[in-house]
Amino acid sequence: MNILLLRPVPSNERFGLGPFFRIEPLGMEYIAAALEAAGHRVTVADLRFSRSAEHYLRSERPGLVGIAGMHALETDNVLALAAAVRRAAPDVPIVIGGHTAAAFPDPFLAADITAVVIDDGELVVPRLVRALEQRAPLSTVPGLVTKGQDGQPVRTAGELGTLALDAVPKPSRRHVDAWRRQYACLAHRPVWLIETARGCPFRCAFCSIWQLHSRSVRERSIESVADDFASVGDEIFVADDLFWYHPARSLELATELKRRKIRKRWILAQSRVDLVARHASLLEAWRPIAKDFDIFFGLEAATDDGLRGLVKDATVSQTEAGIGVARGLGYGVTGNFVIDPAWNEADFERLWAFVDRHRLFQAGFTILTPLPGNYRRGVIEGHAVIYDPMSQAVYDALQLL
């Protein structure tokens, strides 16, 4: 089958890291690799840089269109793109997948959309394609959510099993070769995204990752990660939710990269301060792998009470220790904080002082907000929280920082 995978153009690039980071659609590249291994023909179009969706619908005549919904902020863009695909190709099945769609499928159950994929795309999409080829009902494909007759979401029955990440060892990156130079993080360009592990065992109140993966972590083998590092360019963003999570395996990976003489110009990884504070020797082993090496830390709050409220399971003294270890070894440190919309001026003053004291010249501030289409308070208290564009008042307050 011909399958067309589309990355929509987000309209809200003003928010958060959006304006500074343009990253390849790695999830769809893994799905493309799984489909190609099963003998299908795939086109991946990153609509930020490629030709239009209508162009690919005409030239590829796909039997299935997939649209990525990674961030909740992109929900409206995904829905608008699905409607445009439906206008141009009235009969083609349209599925939505990606992090936000899998975590919160309800907003995507619109009339134009056939189903939402809520498990690993590498597992579900090839099965879905097989079912379409055999004209079997979608209810026979586990890992989907569709709209039931009463309009309520219905999850398809059956077990998928757990995807071992090495089952699809390398993403099909050639699909984005034509616009690779558009992928950038700040001044680093072109940038490659690498995944070495998926999931996180922690349970931070505001985060959707652990809920989606049930606090599990799956790892790629050392061999497959080292092959991926060897095959990509010099500027790398590591997609892992919690890099260095498994210290023994991380050390083994650093040793293998050094044995293969792999050294990059720049790496950016995301991790926790408590982990880094406890594993200075691991950080020391990784430091030579790149000339410049930046870490994004989820510092979240400037007080122990604040950290407790966010269920961060870390303390401010660990924040201080982690920053110290990282800086001592020559890593660049970026701290990311969560802003509670209920804050008053004193809370902002406290955060301001903390940022100042720790010389966090690179810092990110994200407003805690509830889900679009699901603004009930219980959802916030139940920790199903995502990020939304800032309100003007909070935005103005942040300018002070």
What is the pairing mode between strands 264-271 and 290-300? parallel
State the binding partner of 272 from ligand SF4, ligand B12, none, CB within 5 to 8 A by kind: ligand SF4
Position of tokens 């103005």? 396
In sequence order, the 6+-apart residues with CB closer than 8 A to the CB of 321 are 273, 277
Task: Single out the segment in contact with ligand SF4 by CB under 6 A; choices: 52-60, 200-208, 327-335, 342-350.
Answer: 200-208
Q: What is the bridge-based pairing of β-strands 235-238 and 192-194?
A: parallel
What DSSP assignment string belongs to 116-142? EE-S-HHHHHHHHHHHHHTT--GGGST
Q: Closest approach of Cβ 242 to ligand B12, in Å?
A: 9
Q: Which residues are within 8 A (CB) of 41 and not within 5 positions of it... i.e. 6 or more apart?
A: 1, 2, 3, 60
Kindly identify the residues of this chain, within the stretch 239-298, that bind ligand SF4 according to CB under 6 A.
241-242, 272, 298
Tokens of 365: 């501030």
Q: List interacting residues with ligand B12 (CB under 6 A).
A: 5, 10, 12-13, 15-18, 21-23, 26-28, 30-31, 66-68, 70-74, 95, 97-100, 102-103, 117, 120-122, 125, 193, 195, 207-209, 239, 241, 364, 366, 386-387
Site for ligand SF4 in 356-395 (CB under 6 A): none
Torsion from C-alpha of 220, 224, 230, 235, nearest 10 degrees: -20
Q: How many residues bind ligand SF4 (CB under 6 A)?
A: 11
Nearer to ligand SF4, 200 or 385 (CB): 200
The site partner of 225 among ligand B12, ligand SF4, none (C-beta below 5 to 8 Å per kind) is none
136 near 4, Cβ under 8 Å? no
The C-alpha atoms of residue 206 and residue 312 are separated, in whole angstroms, by 9
Q: Which stretch binds ligand SF4 (CB under 6 A): 42-50, 199-207, 260-268, 344-352?
A: 199-207
Nearest CB to ligand SF4, comparing residues 108 and 387: 387
- Does position 207 interact with ligand SF4 (CB under 6 A)? The reply is yes
- Asked if 114 and 86 count as a contact pair (C-beta separation under 8 A), the reply is no
Residue 210 binding target from ligand B12, ligand SF4, none, CB below 5 to 8 Å by type: ligand SF4
> Which of 48, 101, 96 minimizes the C-alpha distance to 71?
101
What residues make contact with ligand SF4 under the rule CB under 6 A?
200, 202-204, 207, 209-210, 241-242, 272, 298
